[in-house]
Amino acid sequence: MGKYNHTVTESDIGFSINQIIKANYKFSSRFKTKMKFQKLVDLNGEPTPGFIKPKIGDVISIRLPEETSDFPSEDIPINVIYEDEDLIFINKQPGVIVHPTKGHPLHTIANGLMKYMQDNNQSYKIRFANRIDMDTSGIVIVAKNANSQHDISHQMRANAVHKQYIAIVNGVIEDDEFTIDEPIGRPNEESIQRTVLSEGGKDAITDVKVLERFKNNTLVEVTLHTGRTHQIRVHLTHIGHPITGDHLYGGNAPKLIDRQALHAAKMILKHPMTGEQLEIEAPLPDDMKKCLAILRK
């Protein structure tokens, strides 16, 4: 069972334990209720009611209920780029699904995380705070507790998370920087593909910045202001520049790369517990580096 500790300082004097916890931790309402009824708050190692006003030097501890996932453990590489007691940021390799589904119950990042936990003597319930497509590489966030997942989900819904991607697209883009503001949706319920819809689509905004131009391709930096399914792939296809290697959206490039050349490269968000700004970057995978090397020649 993990826990958070707070040592009472002079600025806390006069406030109750509940007030001190509220001021220092951004727990969800559900977890606050659980803290109360499961008596998860201690003062100097002993369970305590929340109305008590502690003294300087007292230690308030909030215990987290032990949880775990039951996915089968598999030896799938987990490339951790940041980890603490609340979060893991993974640089996901292309070709691996994030979470098990009916069609892909095994060989996922979740299965690899189970082995990672075993190897590192950890135990927590796997909660993905974001997901990317199987053939997209880059940053995946795993929350180690419900409160962290709740806070990041809130930031995502408020569009308070900076999400930046790197993509290689077909064709040469002339403008250096521009914004695509076009609604996205399914053309019909059976379709896997999304498209720009003049009616019935959901708002979608994508910033595009050209980083490098080649003979028949362009390297771009893409920033999302919304999080629609396939948003980058749809928007770039809509302007006539599908992502290189994106077979679903017409970006076929068999001699360059065998999946869409799209990488979740950077995220900026607030840490769900401390409020500290986290700026996480994931290096490009080898297949995109190889693709760029070919284009530069």
pLDDT digits over 5-38, tens only?
Answer: 899 999 999 999 999 998 888 777 878 888 888 8
Quote the pLDDT of residue 34.
Answer: 82
- Nearest-angstrom CA–CA distance, 153 and 223: 18
In 3D space, the residue among 141, 168, 138 whose CA is nearest the CA of residue 251 turns out to be 168
- Nearest-angstrom CA–CA distance, 200 and 183: 8
Q: What is the pLDDT of residues 129-153, one digit of tens each?
A: 999 999 999 999 999 988 899 899 9
- Nearest-angstrom CA–CA distance, 147 and 276: 16
Question: Of 58, 133, 135, 246, which one is the catalytic site residue?
Answer: 133
Quote the pLDDT of residue 3.
Answer: 76
Residue 133 annotated among the catalytic residues of the structure: yes
The four Cα atoms 161, 260, 93, 191 give a dihedral, to 10 degrees, of 70
Ranges of the chain whose pLDDT falls below 70: 1-2
Quote the pLDDT of residue 2.
Answer: 60
DSSP letters spanning 256-294: T-SS--EEEEEEEEE-TTT--EEEEE-PPPHHHHHHHHH
Domains of the chain: 4-62 (no CATH), 80-296 (3.30.2350.10)
